[in-house]
Amino acid sequence: MEKGSLFNEPFSFYIWNLIMPTSEIYSVSEITRQIKILLEENFPPIWIEGEVSNYKAHYSGHFYFTLKDSQAQISAVMWRSRAAQMQFELEDGMKVQAFGNLRLYEKSGRYQIDIIRLQEAGIGKLQQDFEALKKRLNEEGLFNAEYKKPLPAFPASIGIITSGTGAAIKDILNILKRRSPQTELIVKPAKVQGPGAAEEVASAIELFNNYKKVDLVIVGRGGGSLEDLWAFNEEILARAIFKSKIPIISAVGHEIDYTITDFVADKRAATPSEAAELAVPDFLELQGQIQYFRERISGLLQNKLSSLKSQLDLVQNSYAFKRFSDVISQYALQIDDLNAKLYQSIKLKLSQKTEKLLHLEQRLDNLNPRQVLKRGYSITYKEGLVVKKVEDLSQMDIIETEFSNGKVNSTVNSVKKGR
């Protein structure tokens, strides 16, 4: 049997050979190497759950500790590049789930798990719940683009729902005040972690919708573990966001964190700071753009004015423009002539009309019954009516007789009819 090929045949065969007397003797290094190959090539990356013990964060950035349960333990290592991505503090006594490769450290002859990913125990169940709710809400259409409301370009008022303390609220307020100092900011502090947090955030969203005086709402918090962010994976909050009439930006955790609120909100921000940047345009940048357009418009107006001035100079220096006053004088003379003719025409017309009016007045005066009275005639009235024939009168009637220069009242003594 060649050295270095101990496990080229079935494992049980060589276990037997190791027990039986043989002429082959292995060094510690050789047998350790064979065990290392057997261990590392026959075990794929696996999940191991256990309690953290003897935890040590090395100055190099690597983590060293032991994973144990009631009956056994295994050494564990997490290298700096992976340890730097952890989102929770590791400590002794914590129950965790570790995903990694089994490795054998030859110098000590101990096997250990080289951890790729580490999470608090119970995360697996939470992840399953997350995926199940995500699938169900997606099938209901809560994530559909058609329901996403556009963010206002220049919100006059912004509602902010997050913890009243912590880095998230400070980052959001600092960036919003710097980028858009004229925008009104209304903060509604709420629990963002633990029991009742989802209900409190959902209630704050409803409050802003009833208030009806904010143009945009930012909902979020800083980073944390899946358990820390779980309030933003609850159905009650997802439905409150979907129901909101006000556009909502979800800003939960870090860039690598995704929650249900990110999918249902009108806009997802990777961090609370990014949410503030998405919410408002940069005031100073807008001022710069306005100044640029002001200068550009001013330049265009100057060019236009210069062009029009040049055209005006050409007109003023043209032959037609120099004769303009002469042309005006000619037209003025024509107007004077026309005025004189119009005056004479109107005067003649008035004279003719006046003469005709006097003639008609004379004819009308001749027809006036009062003129007849001047010639010795009179008019007799009975009860205000003109008496036209003798049959209209009776004895003792009171009558009124009108002469040219007055009236006489009398009583009829007798009535004589003519032949």
User: According to the model, what pLDDT value does residue 12 have?
Assistant: 53
Q: Which CATH class is domain 125-281?
A: alpha beta
Distance CA 160, CA 192 (A): 12
Q: What residues contact 231, with CB distance under 8 A and at least 6 apart? A: 191, 192, 193, 194, 197, 198, 201, 237
Supply angle C-alpha 260, 122, 223, rounded to 5. Answer: 50
Annotated domain spans of the chain: 11-119, 125-281, 371-411
User: According to the model, what pLDDT value does residue 402 have?
Assistant: 83
Tell which residue, 12, 37, 14, has the closest CA to residue 24: 14
Distance CA 187, CA 202 (A): 14
Q: Which helix (H) or strand (E) holds 147?
A: none
Instruction: Look up the CATH architecture of domain 11-119.
Output: Beta Barrel (2.40)
**pTM, entire model:** 0.48
CB 241 within 8 A of CB 219: yes
Write the pLDDT tens digit of every residue in 386-407.
888 888 888 888 888 888 788 8
Write the pLDDT tens digit of every residue in 341-371.
999 999 899 988 898 888 888 887 777 777 7
